[in-house]
Amino acid sequence: MMSLIHKFTQDEKYYIIDVNSGSVHLVDELVYDLIDEDSLKSLEELKSRLQNKYSSAEIEEGYSDIKELINEGMLYSMDLYENIAINDNSPSYIKALCLNIVHDCNLRCKYCFADEGEYKGCRKPMPPEIGKRAIDWVIKKSGPRKNIEVDLFGGEPLMVFDTLKEIVDYAREQEVLFNKNIRFTMTTNATLFNDEIMEYVDKNLGNIVLSIDGRKSVNDKVRVKVDGSGSYDKVLPKIKSMVKLRDPEKQYYVRGTFTRNNIDFFEDVIALADEGFKEISVEPVVLPDEHELSIRKEDLPTIFTQYDKLYKEMLKRHKEDNEFKFYHFNIDLNGGPCIYKRISGCGAGHEYVAITPDGDIYPCHQFVGNTDFLLGNIMDKEDINTEIPNTFKNAHIYNKPKCRECWARFYCSGGCQANNFNFNGDIHIPYEIGCEMQKKRIECAIALKAQTME
Ligand code: SF4
Ligand code: SF4
């Protein structure tokens, strides 16, 4: 059955979420006890269940408050989106590209999903010509959309800085000609930054994702150079210089990964915050169970305590006016993104695709190399495969049996299609460990937002 209400406590405070309307209620213990997740029980039933804890008058008062919220559509509200989702026949336009400008890397991170830059194939750069054709292709495929996002991705994109510049400069010319607005993001390991590169990327890229794993001891066990030595001392000063130079109006974030090696990742987030970074993401590694660094079910209780500690620390720093942002605790309680993003997430495979150095098109960077998901090539005359994009478009929360019922569906949007496929062989079946962490993060994010809203 579809979840209507979710109840949880965070730091001894009581929260009720009305799943369909998105209303969040910070309540007292009485109201918390009166509300069940599936339906509001009768007054008589609640009185007999709770008579040892509350007086009849208290229960009646709480009950009438709840009834009022139901009448206002803020509790046990009904789903309004399913019909829209099922009957949606609108055409899909590509709004975002992951441009793998090089399949090669100068690091050898032990958890690298991209085979340390190789992507199951051989190491190679994207010829500038392919990059330019990819820009032409996305401009055409974006139809009436004005805004286009392009992620400059690798391996390590700065290994081919000249190509990167050529593509970005070309895009700047084309966006004027076609009345588009192309925003670039780059994900980099920061090893190759110098003054010229930093100045260029600051000026031309809308967002920079800077990879480092937190504490030096943690980073250097996994983010290693070709000779096996750690990368921390090389990258930290470069990341700091990049952030210092960064125009305050423009985005960046430092991004770490946690694995079984640092299940106490709270310390890594704090290490990054204490280095002065204000935009931080530390995300769980996604690896097959048998990998020595993978997150396993038995790690979940420890992971949850780390998120709880982080919640408390962020609240404390907020009160001290020394706050930082933690990417996975960002949440919008005022309606959030548009309905399509709420029900199908990143849009991989139909609104967002990845392009390889050869011009091959895949649903996202995580599918690269799996030819069952090959959509075509940007240089082909014929149009791309339409069956795969349709499958991805229809893989929204209402077509995923677990997600339909899940209270977190409108915040999580059905999880990562690639993780679902990699763990369960089907993009419709969620990656369970990911779900548990996701739900915990959403609770912390909601509580933090509620406690820090002015
Ligand atoms: S820096 Fe990125 S692409 Fe390179 S090895 Fe590490 S995780 Fe892989
Ligand atoms: S992926 Fe998991 S957490 Fe997300 S909506 Fe589906 S079942 Fe819920």
Residue-wise pLDDT tens digits, 201-219: 999 999 999 999 999 999 9
pTM above threshold 0.85? yes
Q: What is the pLDDT of residues 121-135, one digit of tens each?
A: 788 999 999 999 999
How far lies 454's CA from each of 211, 316, 446, 448, in Å? Answer: 32, 15, 14, 12
345 lines ligand 2 (CB under 6 A): no
Q: If pLDDT is split at 50, 70 and 90, which confidence band does 40 have?
A: very high
156 lines ligand 1 (CB under 6 A): yes
Peptide bond before 347: cis, by omega within 30 degrees of 0?
no
156 CA distance to ligand 1 middle (Å):
7
Query: Among all ligands shown, which has an atom nearest to the Cα of 190?
Result: 1
Separation of alpha carbons 385 and 360, rounded Å: 12
How remote is the C-alpha of 40 from its chain's centroid?
A: 34
109 CA distance to ligand 1 middle (Å):
5
192 CA distance to ligand 2 middle (Å):
38
Q: If pLDDT is split at 50, 70 and 90, which confidence band does 115 have?
A: confident
Whether 76 shows a pLDDT value over 90: the answer reads yes
Q: If pLDDT is split at 50, 70 and 90, which confidence band does 259 have?
A: very high
Proportion of the chain above pLDDT 70, given as a percent: 97
From the CA of 402, give the closest atom in ligand 2. Answer: 7
From the CA of 187, give the closest atom in ligand 1. Answer: 2
Q: For position 338, what pLDDT does the model report?
A: 66
Whether 331 shows a pLDDT value over 90: the answer reads no
Query: Among all ligands shown, which has an atom nearest to the Cα of 153?
Result: 1
91 CA distance to ligand 1 middle (Å):
35
413 CA distance to ligand 2 middle (Å):
7
Q: If pLDDT is split at 50, 70 and 90, which confidence band does 454 have?
A: low
Structural contact between residues 359 and 379, judged by C-beta atoms closer than 8 angstroms: yes
Whether 341 shows a pLDDT value over 90: the answer reads no
Q: If pLDDT is split at 50, 70 and 90, which confidence band does 336 have?
A: low
Give the residue, by CA position, lying nearest to ligand 1 atom 3. Answer: 155
Structural contact between residues 331 and 447, judged by C-beta atoms closer than 8 angstroms: no
212 CA distance to ligand 1 middle (Å):
10
Which residue in 141, 14, 28, 3 sits closest to 447, CA to CA?
14
Whether 249 shows a pLDDT value over 90: the answer reads no
From the CA of 413, give the closest atom in ligand 2. Answer: 5
Which residue in 366, 331, 362, 360 sits closest to 451, CA to CA?
331
Separation of alpha carbons 364 and 393, rounded Å: 13
116 lines ligand 1 (CB under 6 A): yes
How far lies 303's CA from each of 264, 291, 300, 438, 443, in Å? Answer: 7, 18, 5, 11, 14
Whether 86 shows a pLDDT value over 90: the answer reads no
More confident residue, 375 or 341: 375
Q: For position 3, what pLDDT does the model report?
A: 75
Q: What is the pLDDT of residues 149-205, one digit of tens each?
A: 999 999 999 999 999 999 999 999 999 999 999 999 999 999 999 999 999 999 999
Q: For position 245, what pLDDT does the model report?
A: 95
